[in-house]
């Protein structure tokens, strides 16, 4: 049923990334085969599918074959197959090839692609199967009835800065469904609230993240071969920080350069965007792009906690899939094929629940049961303590990782489960740190945040309530005093600016929300947990195309 402000459906998917679309496709197939009426709707906040999508991406295609058994895999919009790969350790000027290339990190048989292009392709297939997709529409607020989730409100539009309706006001739409699938990607804002409300992370490790900052370059032919991939450790990070760089050779002379910084760093002045800029000045990296042209910029978080950071995946009327749950295998940094497989098992559970008219948590627990039987679960299980190895020191981490490899992932902890702390708990007072990362921006090889934001294509309607919520401005003053405002450094889009109040001469934070590229780092890393990211108007945000 549908009128202007109410839509009712069987299944509502929040987020049209690879996980949400794989869910929708598999659900549509199951419904079609069993003559179940198909009523499924996908909401995607980006104006077009793929335009808020950012990944590496080197993908293991095996689960696409299972998702789309009849489809010729040559039609998948991959750029190229991986032809050669290296893992390097970089010092400031030198390069060392790692003597040992762990099998779990091998990309043999994988493909390099733009995940945005893949998502658009999946969206086309989903629509052919009868899935309704509303792009440019964000799931904004959760609706409960008798303590159970029954739907979401989309965002309103036509509000002024204070949230007051203007002449072009459009009210939110109420979307009700029997089952709601949270597929919002890393740190989904609705998923976060559901995990808190239903205590779904009880007895689990907190989720931890890396911020991946990425640029797409066009380079003269022959400077970096199509199908070549490099992963690096070391420079510009010190041994006390987890992270690394990647360089992937796409087709059409395009090269991906990215740097992932673990958000468990303790230096409040550390800047993940600056880390990528510094990375590009290393002689080995600079020579690849020095005569090239920057095409695109963006950043996004990766949930890295692994198996022990997965929340309970279901509750009455809803399931959590993809990066919203945290289905990323480390150390291979692969989430797409696991997200697709988990989405397929969730689709099976949803189909059985709709068929039997029982969408209770007991019925939906089938999702977790089925996922535990998959090779992807075993992949996560094998690396269940990986990220924990690297929570203090890189070299110690290598030793612990070696022990993990020998013990089948168990490591040295007595119960086989190593603990993690949330990223925001790691900040140390600025007085104890003195390690600023100096970067000179030359606008050829290195770009400051304003310049890079231009290349993200991000756009926001200026006339709307700020979508970066800071409930307590006094806490900001404490944060400035203790940590010198880490938000000005960790935000890769210069949304937070430290400025001096002309009257009081006190420092304060000024926000530029229209720069935001939706990476969610502020929601994760703020040491006082005083920042909450919510979606701006539907369709606002970055314009990534092929990231």
Ligand X SMILES: Cc1cc2nc3c(=O)[nH]c(=O)nc-3n(C[C@H](O)[C@H](O)[C@H](O)COP(=O)(O)OP(=O)(O)OC[C@H]3O[C@@H](n4cnc5c(N)ncnc54)[C@H](O)[C@@H]3O)c2cc1C
Q: Give the binding site for ligand X (CB under 6 A).
A: 14-20, 43-46, 52-59, 115, 138-139, 183-185, 188, 190, 212, 214, 258, 300, 302, 322-323, 328, 333-336, 339, 535
Query: In the complex, what is the shortest distance from the CB of residue 109 to ligand SF4, in angstroms, rounded to a whole number?
Result: 34
Nearest-angstrom CA–CA distance, 445 and 183: 36
- Please report the beta strands in 360-410, taking only residues with DSSP state E, as ranges in sequence order: none
Q: Which does 533 bind (CB under 5 to 8 A by kind): ligand SF4, ligand X, none?
A: ligand SF4
Query: 495, 509, 539, 547: which one contacts ligand SF4 (CB under 6 A)?
Result: 495
Rounded alpha-carbon distances, angstroms, from residue 261 to 10, 186, 303, 434: 40, 15, 12, 19
**Residue 479 interacting with ligand SF4 (CB under 6 A):** no
Q: How far apart are CB 379 and ligand SF4 at their closest, in Å?
A: 29
Q: Which is nearer to ligand X, 278 or 334 (CB)?
A: 334
Q: Are strands 111-113 and 58-59 parallel, antiparallel or unpaired?
A: antiparallel
Among ligand X, ligand SF4, none, the one that 495 touches (CB under a kind-dependent 5 to 8 A) is ligand SF4
Question: Shortest approach of ligand SF4 to residue 125 CB, angstroms?
Answer: 30
Q: At a CB cut-off of 8 Å and minimum separation 6, what does 3 contact?
A: none
* Nearest to ligand SF4 of 247, 516 (CB atom): 516
Largest CA distance in the chain: 70
Least Cβ distance, residue 269 to ligand SF4 (angstroms)? 15
Cα-flanking dihedrals φ and ψ of residue 521, to 5°?
A: -60, -35
Under rule CB under 6 A, residue 485 binds ligand SF4: no
Count of all residues that appear for the chain in the document:
547
Considering CB distances under 5 to 8 angstroms, the limit depending on partner class, which of ligand SF4, ligand X, none binds residue 214?
ligand X
Residue 519 interaction partner, one of ligand X, ligand SF4, none, beta carbon < 5-8 Å per kind: ligand SF4
* CA atoms of 47 and 410, how far apart (whole Å): 44
Measured between alpha carbons, how far is residue 473 from residues 28, 272, 479, 492, 528 in Å?
Answer: 47, 25, 10, 22, 11
Pick 358 or 461: Cβ nearer ligand SF4: 461
Reference 340, options 312, 311, 379, 298; nearest CA is 379
Q: Are 231 and 330 in contact (CB under 8 A)?
A: no
Query: How far, in Å, CA of 181 to CA of 545, rounded?
Result: 25
Q: Is the peptide bond before 115 cis (omega within 30 degrees of 0)?
A: no
- Interaction with ligand SF4 in 501-540: which residues (CB under 6 A)? 516-522, 533
At its nearest, how many Å lie between ligand SF4 and the CB of residue 493?
Answer: 4
The entry of ligand SF4, ligand X, none near residue 43 (CB within 5 to 8 angstroms by kind) is: ligand X
Helix (H, G, I), strand (E, B) or coil at 74: helix
Query: Under rule CB under 6 A, which residues in 456-475 are in contact with ligand SF4?
Result: 468
* Contact partner at residue 55 from ligand SF4, ligand X, none, CB < 5 to 8 Å by partner kind: ligand X
| From the list ligand SF4, ligand X, none, partner contacted by residue 234 (C-beta under 5 to 8 A by kind) | none
The size of the interface with ligand SF4 (CB under 6 A), counted in residues, is: 13
The Cα 344–Cα 359 span in angstroms is 17
Minimum separation from the CB atom of position 152 to ligand X (A): 8
* 260 binding ligand SF4? (CB under 6 A): no
**Nearest residue (CB) to ligand SF4, 178 versus 467:** 467
- By beta-carbon proximity to ligand X, the closer residue of 243 and 527 is 243
Minimum distance, C-beta of residue 343 to ligand SF4, in the bound complex (Å): 25
Give dist(CA 184, CA 195) in Å, integer.
13
Q: Is 42 in the site for ligand SF4 (CB under 6 A)?
A: no
Minimum distance of ligand SF4 from residue 521's CB (angstroms): 4
Between 55 and 207, CB nearer to ligand X: 55
Assign residue 73 a region: left if phi > 0, alpha if psi is -120 to 50, beta otherwise?
A: alpha
Which tokens sit at 260?
Answer: 């992932």
Nearest to 184 by CA among 220, 151, 134, 138: 138
- Which residue, 138 or 275, has its beta carbon nearer to ligand X? 138
Sign of CA dihedral 335, 336, 338, 344: positive
Residue 453 interacts with ligand SF4 (CB under 6 A): yes or no: no
Residue with tokens 């756009």: 459
* 439 touching ligand SF4, by CB under 6 A: no
Instruction: Pick the closest to residue 188 from 74, 348, 278, 318 (CA basis).
Output: 318
Residues that bind ligand SF4 (CB under 6 A): 468, 491-493, 495, 516-522, 533
């Amino acid at each position: 049923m549908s009128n202007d402000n109410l839509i009712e459906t069987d299944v509502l998917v929040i987020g049209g990334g690879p996980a949400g679309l794989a869910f929708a496709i598999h659900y549509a197939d199951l419904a079609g085969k069993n003559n179940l009426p198909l009523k499924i709707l996908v909401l995607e906040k980006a104006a077009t599918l793929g335009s808020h999508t950012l990944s590496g991406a080197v993908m293991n295609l095996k689960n696409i074959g299972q998702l789309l058994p009849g489809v010729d895999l040559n039609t998948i919009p991959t750029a190229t197959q991986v032809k050669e790969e290296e893992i390097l350790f970089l010092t400031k000027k030198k390069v060392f090839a790692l003597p040992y290339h762990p099998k779990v990190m091998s990309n043999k048989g994988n493909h390099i692609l733009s995940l945005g292009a893949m998502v658009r392709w999946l969206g086309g297939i989903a629509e052919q199967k009868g899935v309704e997709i509303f792009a440019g529409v964000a799931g904004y607020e959760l609706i409960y009835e008798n303590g159970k989730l029954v739907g979401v409100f989309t965002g309103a539009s036509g509000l002024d800065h204070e949230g007051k309706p203007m002449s072009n006001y459009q009210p939110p739409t109420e979307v009700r469904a029997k089952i709601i699938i949270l597929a919002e990607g890393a740190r989904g804002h609705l998923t976060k609230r559901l995990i808190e409300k239903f205590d779904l992370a009880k007895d689990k490790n907190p989720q931890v993240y890396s911020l991946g900052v990425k640029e797409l370059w066009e380079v003269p032919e022959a400077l970096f071969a199509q199908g070549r991939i490099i992963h690096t450790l070391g420079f510009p990070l010190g041994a006390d920080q987890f992270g690394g760089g990647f360089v992937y050779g796409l087709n059409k002379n395009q090269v991906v350069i990215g740097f992932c910084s673990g958000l468990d760093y303790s230096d409040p002045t550390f800047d993940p965007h600056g880390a990528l800029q510094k990375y590009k000045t290393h002689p080995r990296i600079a020579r690849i792009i020095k005569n090239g042209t920057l095409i695109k910029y963006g950043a996004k978080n990766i949930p890295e906690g692994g198996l022990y950071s997965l929340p309970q995946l279901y509750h009455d009327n809803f399931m959590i899939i993809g990066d919203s749950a945290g289905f990323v295998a480390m150390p291979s940094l692969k989430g797409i094929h696991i997200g697709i497989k988990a989405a397929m098992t969730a689709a099976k559970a949803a189909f059985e629940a709709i068929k039997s008219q029982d969408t209770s948590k007991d019925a939906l627990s089938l999702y977790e049961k089925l996922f535990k039987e998959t090779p992807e679960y075993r992949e996560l299980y094998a690396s269940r303590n990986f990220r924990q190895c690297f929570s203090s020191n890189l070299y110690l981490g290598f030793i612990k990782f070696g022990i993990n490899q020998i013990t089948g992932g168990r490591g040295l902890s007595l119960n086989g489960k190593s603990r993690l702390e949330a990223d925001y708990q790691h900040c140390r007072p600025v007085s104890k740190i003195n390690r600023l990362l100096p970067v000179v921006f030359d606008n050829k090889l290195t770009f400051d945040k304003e310049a890079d934001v231009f290349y993200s294509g991000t756009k926001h309607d200026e006339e709307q309530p700020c979508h970066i919520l800071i409930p307590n401005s006094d806490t900001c003053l404490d944060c400035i005093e203790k940590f010198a405002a880490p938000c000005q450094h960790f935000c890769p889009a210069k949304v937070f600016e430290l400025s001096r109040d002309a009257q009081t001469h006190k420092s304060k934070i000024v926000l530029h929300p229209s720069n935001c590229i939706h990476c969610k780092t502020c929601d994760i890393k703020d040491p006082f947990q005083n920042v909450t990211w919510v979606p701006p108007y539907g369709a606002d945000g970055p314009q990534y195309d092929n990231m």
